[in-house]
Structure 1
Amino acid sequence: MATGTGFSRSFVMVEDGFSNEGEERSQNSGQLDVGKPPRNLAVVRHSISTATLLTPTDPDLGVVGVKSASDGKSEYTPMIRSGSCAEKGPKEYMEDEHICIDSLLEHFDRTEGFPSLGAFYGVFDGHGGTDAACYVRKNILKFIVEDPQFPGCLKKSIRNAYLKADQAFAENSTVDVSSGTTALTTLVFGRMLVVANAGDCRAVLGKRGRALELSNDHKPNSIPERHRIEQLGGVIYDGYLNGQLSVSRALGDWHMKGPKGTACSLSGEPELQEIFLMEDDEFLIMGCDGLWDVMSSQCAVTIARKELMIHNDPERCSRELVREALKRGTCDNLTVIVVCFSPDPPPWIEIQSPMGHRRSISSEGLHFLKGILDGNS
């Protein structure tokens, strides 16, 4: 994602954890010089967490999947594992950040307020530098768990955390408050999954071969966002909010926002979606717009499912999605997280074949075929 300002900040890699607002940063991190070299030359990052790798039979890569979905009445317990891949792609600098926490209990080293199954993931696509993406990445989960509504009302606590992170960033004198970031997070809390999004990153659930989008892309030209922007006095020039920004929601970008408490066309408020995980929910793909600019949600699910059936490794799966996006000519940074909900690879999708000459295909198989056709287009 790019702004209309034309400058880019350097790439910095920060370890997992939280930072205070007064945390020291490198002496050059507050500058906005055009063409500034990256702080860190590493431009590719891969990670995998608690993956249980099995050795499934290598399937023929045709139509694959499962016989029938669960009725939801079983005592199903998800088993969380994840992998990620981030690469700067054709851009000069890397401005994406991401976070993968497969166990909140281990991350916080305490049990109060957390179920035995708890995880957190985030993709933050920065623009105008990395300050906003780094700050939100390091602090958003802290703001969620410290919110008075947590854990009784997860959606309210997450919404409050986004707004608090946005305001806290504006009040931090050690950062460049004109930098900005989109923010896509997923909180797994028991069998509850809550996705929050502000910007054009996207979360897609793989459900027995079918892609189910769990977030909306906040582009200025989308009908709901256009109406909201125009009602607040904003304008859209050639698809850019106020002629400057290609997204309509983001944290940071305080040169485009008014004082605290005033409504403005660029919003840091997330949209949230909550689902209850079932047995046919196989995996979640979280990616920045560098992935979705060149690939449909169904195509990504099809590729991911095929990869997981072969090697059952979410890191290799995320790496393959990045590789495919680069092959298709993406023009942006790339960050992909794949979260699996089972230790086993996805099962085969069975083609229904009733008696006689007629042939039919299950809905899962149909979605898989659509993904294959989309991937070859």
Structure 2
Amino acid sequence: MSSMQGWRIGMEDAHIAETVMSQSAPYKDWSFFAVFDGHAGPNIATRASLQLLEHLISGEEFREMTQLLQENNGMLTDATLKLLEKGIKKGFLSFDEISKNISECNKSGCTAVCAIITPTHIIIGNLGDSRAVVAGKNGQIFGTEDHKPYNEKERRRIEEAGGSVMIQRINGSLAVSRAFGDYEYKDHPMLPADQQLVSPEPDVYIRERNKDTDEFMVVACDGIYDVMTNEELAEFVRDRLVVHQDLREVCDDVLDECLVKGSRDNMTLVMVCFPAAPSMNVHRKEAEEAWVGKVKVIVNQFADETLASEDFKKEDDVVSLKPIFDRVTAAGLLPTDLRIPGHIVTTLSQKILDERGVKHC
């Protein structure tokens, strides 16, 4: 898991990562992961990260499902899966209704994407434009559908509730059509919650796991997907898994790459690897480390020359990173046989120049 405030003045994302969903059966073998992307403040996103899981488990459908699972030795049948889907939908709706009475949640909103992983299934609930992506071998990719006001189904509900879609936003303002909070868009007295301008009802996806082909799942906010498609993200993650054993380093690489690509939003990403995920390749890792060592030499030489220049004023001057890229290119260090992410030269240069006290842009 990794998160980054990015260029925003505050951090409004929150998340859950519970590898053991609950200590009580049958949930000891289940996991729960979720990302909440807040807007107009972090309050309801934070509340969701602290309370949504317990709220779901304590719901009537989950209690009934637990009883059925105990009767069926933990096996997920069609009946239990239907209860699970219904429980997620009703749980989201009731959590939103209860949160309406919390004063600090009145003004803020958040999207939500959660994933329950069982030994046999992946169950995903999605609300808004955060997204879950499941990648498999041979380029297989599954991704949840974003809830945007300009989507036909969402537009129809918005207009039937008396609103409009302008500049791809609800009433020209809100960029998502389903979310927790945003109660000023949920005040039509004659309409149920799922028919308001902004709906708190999630889409629920149920997928059987395949141990031979499922590689990994990414649960992330739209700060990632603003600059990467599902396919680009999956390919990037596959490539970084080959050089990192620690998933946190893979997650950090994704966020750094998105920042360099121009993402301006908060970014949060949770990653889960399955047995078929790519494993680290020692030769590939060593080759990349050797490449990084050569780039470090170039950056330090640039810093030495900059600091030694009579025209350079350390307290006032800001240097461009472009000469570093020019030198890396001239040295033939943009290899075609290694899949080096574009952010590495940038982040490496920034780190070294910061350590040397050279301001940069």
TM-score calculated relative to the size of structure 2:
0.69
1:120 paired residue among 10, 32, 37: 32
Q: Gaps (5+ residues) in structure 1? A: 1-83, 349-371
- Alpha-carbon deviation of 1:209? 5.1
1:164-175 equivalences in 2 (<5 Å): 164-173=94-103, 175=104
In the alignment, does 2:290 pair up with 1:339? no
* Correspondence list, 1:130-209, <5 A: 130-150=42-62, 151=65, 152=80, 153-173=83-103, 175-208=104-137
TM-score by length of 1: 0.66
Question: How far does residue 210 in structure 1 lie from its aligned partner after superposition?
Answer: 2.0
Q: 1:271 aligns with which of 203, 224, 242?
A: 203
The answer to whether structure 1 residue 212 and structure 2 residue 125 are counterparts is no
Gaps of 5+ in 2: 66-79, 282-338, 344-361
Q: Where does residue 261 of structure 1 map in the other structure? A: 192
1:198-254: CA deviation from partner (whole Å, max 9, x where unpaired)? 100011111015252331111111222222222332211111112221001100011
RMSD of aligned C-alpha atoms? Answer: 2.2
Counterpart among 235, 243, 246 of residue 302 in structure 1:
235
Amino acid at match of 1:204: V
On the 8 A contact 1:211/1:298 being kept in 2, the answer is: no
When residues 137 and 96 of structure 1 are mapped into structure 2, their CA distance, relative to the original with a 3 A threshold, is same
Greater share of helix: 2
Query: How many residue pairs are counted as aligned between the two chains?
Result: 263
1:172 CA displacement: 2.0
Percent same amino acid among aligned pairs? 31
Query: Where do residues 96-115 of structure 1 align in structure 2 (5 Å cutoff)?
Result: 96-104=13-21, 108-110=22-24, 112-114=25-27
- The more displaced of 163-172 and 305-314 is 305-314
| Larger Rg over CA atoms | 2
Higher relative contact order (CA 8 A, sep 6+): 1
Does 1:292 pair with 2:225?
yes
Cα 1:237–1:313 shift into 2, 3 Å: same
Q: Which amino acid aligns with 2:181?
A: G
Distance 1:301 1:343 in 2: 14
CA change 1:240–1:232 in 2 (3 A) is: same
**Contact 2:113/2:125 (<8 A) preserved:** yes
- The answer to whether structure 1 residue 129 and structure 2 residue 61 are counterparts is no
How far residue 109 of structure 1 moved from its aligned partner, in angstroms, is 3.0
- Cα-to-partner distance string for 1:288-345 (whole Å, 9 max, x where unaligned): 1111010111110011011112223221111111011001011111111111122864
- Deviations 1:160-184 (CA, angstroms, capped at 9, x unpaired): 11111101110224x2312100010
- CA–CA distance in 1 between the matches of 2:15 and 2:143? 18
Shift of the alpha carbon at 1:148? 1.3
Note closer, same or farther for the CA distance 1:211–1:285 as it changes in structure 2 (3 Å cut): farther
Match of 2:157 in 1: 228
